[in-house]
Structure 1
């Protein structure tokens, strides 16, 4: 009887051990160790913008310059429209140039038409008749400026417009002085204006402490006659470089 009992137990073990092995062993053998995937953080760097150097128009215009002994006249670095004036290496003032397309200036267009050279007319700068007409138009433009100035300023005296040469172009020199109630000079402006057929060139400087131009009247007074010579020798009209075929 005991032998039959042992035989039954052996049969049962033979049946169930393979089944248990199939069920439990995969849980221990099929699981492979996993290696964590490292996270790669992308770092983006903003592109560096190249430094754009400002071209100063005086580099094209400036020609012969005559200044007092120890003074210098050079285009201001990183300033597109300013000419820097120094005495013994120390800045004393600036001259500014404005370039204004006449197609955007209806008032000056009217003065050109009234003078007999409407916008778009052929330029004849060597023709005395053309020079006279252009000077008339420029003087009318200055007269408009003086009229506006009188409405907005007190104690102002204007200078009579004077025909001058600016490079090879006819031009006009003009300006004004403003006095304090005590009769002292508060501000003084000198300007030159010309026209090359498409654009107005307005060259100006001043004794005006608040403008960053000349802050001392004696420096301004000493420089005035040299400004006239600088304007007369400018490279105007600007010669366009020939286009390559």
Structure 2
């Protein structure tokens, strides 16, 4: 009788142990390391990462590497010795689907869809006016959002927009920071925006714990990369 009991017990354990290994042990195992960032919305799978097509010749800090991230997300990966330090994101918006920027162009004196001389100083001045209006709206939206999020604990500081080349296009560099009242930086954002007549290019990166993509984990790494980002934006292969 005892031997029969042992046989039954052994049979039950043979069944339960594999099930425990399959369903219970993974809960106590360390999570797998994820080296590349992920996003919820991806471009068309046939397009690939746009940075592969537009990235020009770029210098890098010592022992740093800059390359298009793997996958289709529009992210540029900045790494050092195999460690991901941060990413830069580019978003491209079609003018045909952007009524807000169409209105800004009309206010600046440009009729959307009309033939213009992209090299004329008058047109470039008008485009810069529309881009500055876009940046001002962007600042206002962020200031309102941060006021509701942080109240008086964080001071919102916007940087004056600067006309800069973005590839062969005339664009604007902008940015802002959130400063803690007790000292220190809560967040810092750097952006470039340009318009080629049919598409709006917005390039961003940041030090911001609340941002999912287009960010650096450490403020000091963003500070080191900042002048290289300016050079990258100026050397992009945009239309």
- Please give the TM-score of this superposition, normalised by the length of structure 2: 0.74
Aligned 1:1-245 pairs, distance under 5 A: 55-154=48-147, 155-212=155-212, 213-237=215-239
Q: Distance in 2 between matches of 1:220 and 1:148?
A: 23
Task: Give how far 1:129 is off.
Answer: 1.4
Which SS does the other structure have where 1:235 is aligned?
coil
Instruction: Label 1:54 to 1:116 Cα distance change in 2 as closer, same or farther (>3 A).
Output: closer
The alpha carbon displacement at 1:54 in A equals 6.2
SS at match of 1:78: coil
Q: CA deviation at 1:121?
A: 2.0
Offset of residue 108 of structure 1: 0.9
Structure 1 SS opposite 2:182 = coil
Runs of 4+ in 1 over 6 A off after TM superposition: none
Unpaired runs of at least 5, structure 1: 1-51, 238-245
Contact 1:124 1:130 in 2 (8 A): yes
SS class of match (1:206): strand
State how far apart, in whole Å, the 1-side matches of 2:76 and 2:195 are: 20
Deviation per CA, 1:83-117: give whole Å up to 9, x if none.
Answer: 00012231100000001112222111111011111
Q: Deviations along 1:51-91, whole A, 9 cap, x unmatched? A: x6760001111011111111111000013200000122311
> How many residues get paired?
186
SS for the counterpart of 1:153 is: helix
